[in-house]
Amino acid sequence: MSEQTAREMALGAVKITGADLALSVTGIAGPGGGSTDKPVGTVCFAIADRDKSRSVRMRFSGNRNMVQIKAAMTGLDLLRRHLHGLDFLDSGW
């Protein structure tokens, strides 16, 4: 799980499906699987089109279900921001 992995996932989705845009999410929702470098709640997101990709790494608190919900909501918000031409790195997350 890394930003690079998320970028490759999104680029692969665009390539395989022929889509114009793809969003990928990968992370550690818990309760186990975390490490010092990547604690539980660490989530990487990427958005790719046919030419490029962007990624961001975030950390969420809460149990597994809450991390999954927060990741899903954040992924959709990052996609919304991208579609509106907003810099998703300035989203306040």
Q: From CA 20, how far away is CA 54, in angstroms rounded? A: 14
Residue with the larger pLDDT of the pair 64 and 88 = 64
Q: Where are the alpha helices (DSSP H) in the chain?
A: 3-17, 64-83
Establish if 91 belongs to a structural domain: no
Write the CATH number for 23: 3.90.950.20
- Into how many domains does the chain fold? 1
3-state SS assignment for residue 16 = helix
Please state whether 37 falls in left (phi above 0), alpha (psi between -120 and 50) or beta: alpha
Q: Global pTM? A: 0.91
pLDDT, one tens digit per residue, over 30-70 is 999 989 999 999 999 999 998 889 999 999 999 999 999 99
| Domain limits for position 33 | 3-85
pLDDT at 87: 80
Q: From CA 26, how far away is CA 13, in angstroms rounded? A: 14
Establish if 93 belongs to a structural domain: no
Establish if 90 belongs to a structural domain: no
- Omega before 39 within 30 of 0, i.e. cis: no
pLDDT, one tens digit per residue, over 72-86 is 999 999 999 999 988
